[in-house]
Amino acid sequence: MIKRRTLTVVATVCAAGLSAASVSSASAVSAASDSNSTSTSTSGSASVPGTDLNAGTNSWTTAVGDNGDVTGAHSVSGHIHGFVWHGGTLVDLPPGANQDYSIANAVDAGGDVVGTGGNYGFGYVHAYEWKGGSPNGTDFGALYGNSFANTVNTGGEIAGQSQTSLSVTVGALLNSGVPTVLPDLGGSYTAPMYLNDAGTAAGYSLTPSGDQHAVVWIGGKLTDLGIGTAAGLNAQGQVLVASAQGKGAPFLWTNGVQTTFGAGVQTVTGLNNAGQVVGTFLPAGSTTAHGFVWQNGQLTDLGAAFFPTAVNNVGQVLGNTAADSYGLGVVWYQGQVTTLAPTSGQYSEPEQLNDNGLVAGIVQGTQDATVWQLPAVSGAALHKRGG
């Protein structure tokens, strides 16, 4: 449901399939239906203006919660500070004592923010939490070495990482600041990037030979999903797996069963609680990738100028008109496409979307953190599955 910007300033992270020839661009998938959907076609166009978060130039967003909180980071007097924004008010989350920067990575339903704080260069990095969006954060310390907080669930459990040495990074869950190291595949790097409210985590782990495998931790127990990386986790515990290191084909993992999406599917970028998957595919005979939304074996073609980045539990698909950052943000829902207008410059780059239609991202040029509010969807609550 939520897509987050990769934080390179903190760390560098190293069956039911449908053939592309049988895909019909006229078919539509409804998040409310488990049966064959009613055929429609993409039609109509609307535009939604953006709202500048007033976080300044060189600011970006990292997550948007269903309560309307938006987290991110911005430049303050030459240093990077985390922030949380809600309803027009931006709260700066400054670094702690003797630290150079802070970054807010995620927020839970209660407004508690997690992220990192540290020093530039070869200085330390610590996992952080800001309770209720307070600017006074809690430094979890080094734990087993440099530590990172990646995401948080509604129970306040945090998924993150910790270095046991300069060359080994392990995954960890933090509960009330107490870390539990997650089992791994024996390699040098493990990263839990997704965490649901049941405490299931998903991410990836390296093998001793350096191969990257998608993994899921259920009740703390590791399951190896094979070559790839987790690209999504929903409330039901389904894991979306993307290719990694140029190997493997995308698939959806459900209680030990792998479901592929067809030979034409290239990337997968989002999963919601209804089991909808979004990404890109190459139609038969075409050299141009198209966006798609998939559910229960049926793939809907979103067109050539639609590159999905996320899907919420209502079934709204967030994307961009260009594969790189120089395009316009767009949202597809039941055949209707809405453009997310930039507040300045020519391009908008939305990256996160919550279940209430609040979109967060940046506008290119000034790189200002920005939000867009989509119109309410009638009966949207009926489309949601799980929690």
pTM for the complete prediction?
A: 0.86
**Local structure of 382: helix, strand or coil:** helix
CA-to-CA distance for 30 and 346, rounded, in angstroms? 32
Task: Tokens for 48, please give them.
Answer: 């939604």
Query: Tell me, what's the pLDDT at 208?
Result: 97
CB atoms within 10 A of CB 346: 11
Q: Tokens 């709202």 identify what position? A: 51
Q: What is the pLDDT of residue 211?
A: 97
SS3 breakdown of the chain: % helix, strand, coil, rounded to 5?
5, 50, 50
d(CA 256, CA 337): 35
What is the Cα–Cα distance from 355 to 295, expressed in whole angstroms?
Answer: 18
**1 DSSP assignment:** -
pLDDT attached to residue 47: 94
Reading the block at residue 374, the tokens are 């989509």
Residue length of the chain: 387
Per-residue pLDDT of the chain (387 residues; tens, 9 = 90+): 444 443 333 332 222 222 222 233 323 333 323 333 322 344 457 999 999 999 998 999 999 999 999 999 999 999 999 999 999 999 999 988 878 999 999 999 999 999 999 988 767 889 999 988 788 888 887 777 789 999 999 999 999 999 988 889 999 999 987 889 999 999 999 999 999 999 999 999 999 999 999 999 999 999 999 999 999 999 999 999 999 988 889 999 999 999 999 889 999 999 999 999 999 999 999 999 999 999 999 999 999 999 999 999 999 999 999 987 789 999 999 999 999 999 887 899 999 999 999 999 999 888 999 999 999 986 554 333 344
The SS3 of residue 136 is coil
CB 339 within 8 A of CB 47: yes
What's residue 301's pLDDT? 97
Distance of alpha carbon 380 from alpha carbon 354, whole angstroms: 12
Of 379, 378, 361, whose CA–CA distance to 370 is shortest? Answer: 361
Residue 196 and residue 153 in contact, taking contact as beta carbons nearer than 8 Å: yes
Torsion from C-alpha of 230, 234, 238, 244, nearest 10 degrees: -10
- Please state, in angstroms and rounded to a whole number, the distance separating the CA atoms of residues 308 and 295: 15
Give the integer Cα–Cα distance in Å for 194 and 202.
5
Distance CA 379, CA 383 (A): 7
User: Edge-to-edge, what's the strand order for the sheet holding 60-64?
Assistant: 60-64, 70-76, 79-86, 89-93
